[in-house]
Amino acid sequence: MPQSSDLYFAQQPVGEMANLAYMIGSLSERKAYLVDPAWNVQGLLDQAAKDEIEIIGALVTHYHQDHVGGEIFGHQIEGLAALLERHPVPIHANKLEVDGLIKVTGVSNSDIRGHDGGDLLQIGGIGVRLIHTPGHTPGSQCFLVEEADQSGHLVAGDTLFLNGCGRVDLPGSDPRAMYESLETLKTLPDDTTLYPGHLYSPEGQDSMGDQKRTNPYLRAASVDVFLSFMGA
User: Tell me, what DSSP letter sits at residue 170?
Assistant: S
Report in angstroms the alpha-carbon separations of 218 from 160, 183, 206. Answer: 9, 7, 14
Collect all residues with Cβ–Cβ distance below 8 Å to 231 and sequence separation of at least 6: 169
Beta strand extents in the chain (DSSP E only): 7-14, 19-26, 31-35, 54-59, 70-72, 75-77, 91-94, 112-115, 120-123, 126-132, 141-146, 153-155, 160-161, 164-165, 193-195, 206-207
Least gap, CB of 155 to Fe ion (angstroms): 14
| Binding residues among 57-76 for Fe ion as defined by CB under 5 A | 64
- Of the pair 97, 158, the CB lying nearest Fe ion is at 158
Count the site residues for Fe ion by CB under 5 A.
Answer: 2
| Binding residues among 114-143 for Fe ion as defined by CB under 5 A | none
| Binding residues among 142-181 for Fe ion as defined by CB under 5 A | 158
- Of the pair 78, 158, the CB lying nearest Fe ion is at 158
- Of the pair 127, 175, the CB lying nearest Fe ion is at 175
Least gap, CB of 62 to Fe ion (angstroms): 6
Least gap, CB of 101 to Fe ion (angstroms): 13
Least gap, CB of 195 to Fe ion (angstroms): 15
- Of the pair 64, 92, the CB lying nearest Fe ion is at 64
CA gap 55, 38 in Å, rounded: 15
Q: What are residue 59's phi and psi, to 5 degrees?
A: -110, 130
Least gap, CB of 64 to Fe ion (angstroms): 4
CA gap 131, 154 in Å, rounded: 10
From its phi and psi, is residue 74 left (phi > 0), alpha (psi between -120 and 50) or beta?
Answer: left
User: Tell me, what DSSP letter sits at residue 215?
Assistant: -
- Of the pair 64, 87, the CB lying nearest Fe ion is at 64
* In contact, 197 and 158? CB cutoff 8 Å: yes
Least gap, CB of 8 to Fe ion (angstroms): 26
Query: What is the separation, in whole angstroms, between the first and last Cα of the chain?
Result: 48
- Of the pair 25, 79, the CB lying nearest Fe ion is at 79
- Of the pair 49, 72, the CB lying nearest Fe ion is at 72
Under the criterion CB under 5 A, does residue 198 sit at the interface with Fe ion? no
Least gap, CB of 158 to Fe ion (angstroms): 4
Q: Which residues lie near Fe ion (CB under 5 A)? A: 64, 158
